Structure 1
Amino acid sequence: MRLRYKPFALPELHENKLVYFDPKENKGRWKEIFGNDNPIHIEIGAGRGGFIKELALRNPDINYIAVEMDEKIFVYTGRMFLEEEENIQNVRLLKDKAENLAEFFEEDEVDKIYINFSNPWPKKKHHKRRITHPRQLVNYVKILKNGGLVEFKTDDRPFFEDSLEYFEENGFELLEYTFDLTEEFKADNIVTEYERKWRKRDIPINYLKVELHK
């Protein structure tokens, strides 16, 4: 469902001290921004931020960066983390597209990437727009450390099967995957808003974890 235009969203995000925009000012400075040397994990397409909030609460010794391009959604994410700032100090927000990540991060600056329920772009002529397409993986390879991880979830089986090939053909080793993510397979799974929606419809969730070898 497409959200209505919210004229207040972008100005409010610019006023939010947790939200970052300018790649020239931030590239290579994330440890300085967080004030520590903890590992950096990012989520691409963070939406309302529920997933990364739970990660941050579970892992206070990891720095998390939520990446989202849609200000209509992200403005509420920004509000949430400002309200939770006393309890959650290891999250920052980045307003931009996934294809621009290499402009925000130095080589080997990121330890892990999460991708949850991104647009599958089912038509073949649109496959290059997929977040897991080799055109995007080039950017992930740049910013991820050798041995860095990517976790990916989707309800779209054809998209998932194509993504398995994308990763394996571009320097990533497949560590684990399933076409039906269950608690038995991954006990620490965090159920996202979209995942909850598909599970109610008995749609299986596809999941993989890969490791980068440069």
Structure 2
Amino acid sequence: MRMRNKPWAIDYLNQHSEIVVTEVDDLQQDVWQQFIRSNDIKHIEVGSGMGRFITTLAKQNPYIQYISVELDKNVMVRVLDKVLEQNLDNIRLICLPIEEIHDYLAINPLDQLYLNFSDPWPKNRHEKRRLTHHNYLSIYEKFLKDDALIQFKTDNRKLFEYSLISMSQYGYQFVDINLHVHDREPDDNIRTEYEEKFSSKGSRIYMLKAKLNE
């Protein structure tokens, strides 16, 4: 996701360090350690975009703790705004690569992972950057519970097909495969901003749910 650069973004995010972290060392703060170590049910979204999906979940499920991971500081500002506007206290934001924080998350493994409309990185030489590449699947395994669920949505058919193969080869078993989410839309489906955009242009939305140890 590309947005206009906001020179003030990091300062704004750091003003709310109880909610969002922008440096790995910040995860050592007491408030963050308490959140990570608590025994509450925890879900995580990697690549949260502008935050409609994860903040809607947090509002609907106050008994679940949510972690939003988004690399782009300019985009994370939008997520933080939604958290503050809705006064959500069961969500924390991380503006860092998942590769740098998985050890902290593994302190208390998480129950579910969401991947929504990830960058497809269509060129073969960029395969390792896809969030369903086996390198990333091995990272997720480090901080997810043994029976954790991964939910993946995309409008990109080639990425969806790639993800089915990659996850199957890694050992995941599919709980659900939906080749046209909006044809018979599940009641619990939350449309992201990009999902609305792609769907309005006629794109088909694909979704899968999978577990490593079914």
- Normalised to the residue count of structure 2, the TM-score between the two structures is 0.90
Number of residues of Structure 1 aligned to a counterpart in Structure 2: 212
Q: Trace 1:71-150 onto structure 2 (pairs within 5 A).
A: 71-85=73-87, 88-106=88-106, 109-150=109-150
* Deviation for aligned residue 1:208: 0.2
* Deviation for aligned residue 1:15: 1.3
**Is structure 2 residue 44 aligned with structure 1 residue 42?**
yes
* Deviation for aligned residue 1:95: 0.8
Checking the alignment, whether the CA contact within 8 Å between 2:62 and 2:90 is kept in structure 1 is yes
2 CA distance for matches of 1:42 and 1:14? 21
What's 2:64 paired with?
Answer: 62
1 CA distance for matches of 2:202 and 2:172? 30
Q: Tell me: CA distance 1:56–1:96, structure 2 relative to 1, closer, same or farther (3 Å).
A: same
SS of the equivalent of 2:170 reads coil
Q: Tell me: CA distance 1:185–1:6, structure 2 relative to 1, closer, same or farther (3 Å).
A: closer
Structure 1: runs of 5 or more not aligned: none
Q: Which amino acid aligns with 1:20?
A: V
* Deviation for aligned residue 1:182: 2.9
SS of the equivalent of 2:89 reads coil
* Deviation for aligned residue 1:19: 0.3
* Deviation for aligned residue 1:11: 1.1
* Deviation for aligned residue 1:176: 0.6
* Deviation for aligned residue 1:34: 6.9
What's 2:27 paired with?
Answer: 26
* Deviation for aligned residue 1:157: 0.4
SS of the equivalent of 2:112 reads strand
Q: Which amino acid aligns with 2:162?
A: D
What's 1:178 paired with?
Answer: 178
Q: Which amino acid aligns with 1:68?
A: E
* Deviation for aligned residue 1:2: 3.0
* Deviation for aligned residue 1:100: 2.8
* Deviation for aligned residue 1:117: 0.3
Q: Tell me: CA distance 1:176–1:108, structure 2 relative to 1, closer, same or farther (3 Å).
A: farther
2 CA distance for matches of 1:187 and 1:83? 25
Q: Which amino acid aligns with 2:195?
A: E
SS of the equivalent of 1:89 reads coil
Checking the alignment, whether the CA contact within 8 Å between 1:63 and 1:90 is kept in structure 2 is yes
Structure 2: runs of 5 or more not aligned: none
